């Protein structure tokens, strides 16, 4: 496995270093220092809100799981202490024993692990997504507060997108020119395969 790949998204490198380089060039060339600072501040707001939301969601998930676990244990203790029927008597006089289901209702360690895991992951997800949304809203307000700065940022982004599209177009055109070479290689390989079979 490659050293520059991780299964966790947070540890992965930028997926396209060429795009990151183009973006950095446009940041330096098309925006002034105050606009760059505003963009960095907006990005840090999104990150901060998402991190705080994730931590709060995780904490609330663990607290809710603890509460549910304590309710489940209390309910089991009440059921165990309550008087239970031992048998059922039918109208024709037949008697049937009632099975003891206490062993199936008893809280287990694996049930506790599953409860804590489910509520923790759910809280982490909901808190993180909520934090991301509030951070994005806060970042948007930061960027759009000054109309002139907003226009400069939008223009720089438009130029960046145009540059990326131009590079993608030139890459696709070079692939079209190389496709004839690919066809030659395929025909040579099929000729070689047929000569080996014959």
Average pLDDT of adjacent 10-residue blocks, the chain of 198 residues: 46 63 82 87 90 93 95 89 86 88 84 93 91 92 88 89 86 68 67 64
189 in any annotated domain: no
4 in any annotated domain: no
Q: Which residues of 148-179 are buried (b: 16+ CB within 10 A; e: fewer)?
A: ebeebbeebeeebeeebeeeeeeeeeeeeeee
Q: Which residues span the domain enclosing 144?
A: 18-25+36-76+106-169
Quote the pLDDT of residue 19.
75
Q: Of 79, 78, 62, nearest to 113 (Cα)? A: 62
> What DSSP assignment string belongs to 48-63?
HHHHHHHHHHHHHHHH
154 is written with which tokens?
Answer: 């939008």
181 in any annotated domain: no
86 in any annotated domain: no
Cα separation, 113 vs 106, whole angstroms: 14
Quote the pLDDT of residue 10.
46
12 in any annotated domain: no
Q: pLDDT tens digit string along 152-172?
A: 888 988 988 888 888 888 877
198 in any annotated domain: no
Q: Of 169, 123, 160, nearest to 22 (Cα)? A: 160
158: Cβ contacts below 8 Å, ≥ 6 apart: none
Q: pLDDT tens digit string along 114-125?
A: 999 999 999 999
* Residue 163 CA neighbour count, 13 Å, CB half: 17
150: Cβ contacts below 8 Å, ≥ 6 apart: 143, 144
Quote the pLDDT of residue 70.
94
8 in any annotated domain: no
**DSSP 8-state class, residue 11:** G
Q: The pTM is what?
A: 0.65
162 in any annotated domain: yes
Number of domains the chain contains:
1
CB count in 10 Å sphere of residue 27 = 16
β-partners of residue 89 are 95
* Residue 3 CA neighbour count, 13 Å, CB half: 0
Quote the pLDDT of residue 69.
93
């Amino acid at each position: 496995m490659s050293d520059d790949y991780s299964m966790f998204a947070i540890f992965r490198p930028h997926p396209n270093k060429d795009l990151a380089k183009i973006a950095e060039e446009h940041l330096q060339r098309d925006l002034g220092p105050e606009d760059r600072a505003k963009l960095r501040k907006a990005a840090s707001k999104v990150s901060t809100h998402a991190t705080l939301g994730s931590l709060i969601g995780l904490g609330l998930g663990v607290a809710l799981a603890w509460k549910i676990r304590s309710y489940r244990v209390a309910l089991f203790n009440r059921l165990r202490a309550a008087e239970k029927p031992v048998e059922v008597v039918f109208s024709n006089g037949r008697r049937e024993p009632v099975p003891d289901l206490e062993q199936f209702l008893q809280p287990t360690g694996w049930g506790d692990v599953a409860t804590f895991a489910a509520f923790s992951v759910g809280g982490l997800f909901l808190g993180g997504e909520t934090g991301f949304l509030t951070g994005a809203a806060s970042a948007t307000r930061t960027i759009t507060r000054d109309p002139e700065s907003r226009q400069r940022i939008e223009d720089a982004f438009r130029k960046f997108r145009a540059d990326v599209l131009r590079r993608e177009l030139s890459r696709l055109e070079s692939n079209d020119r190389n496709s004839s070479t690919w066809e030659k290689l395929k025909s040579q390989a099929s000729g070689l395969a047929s000569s080996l079979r014959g």
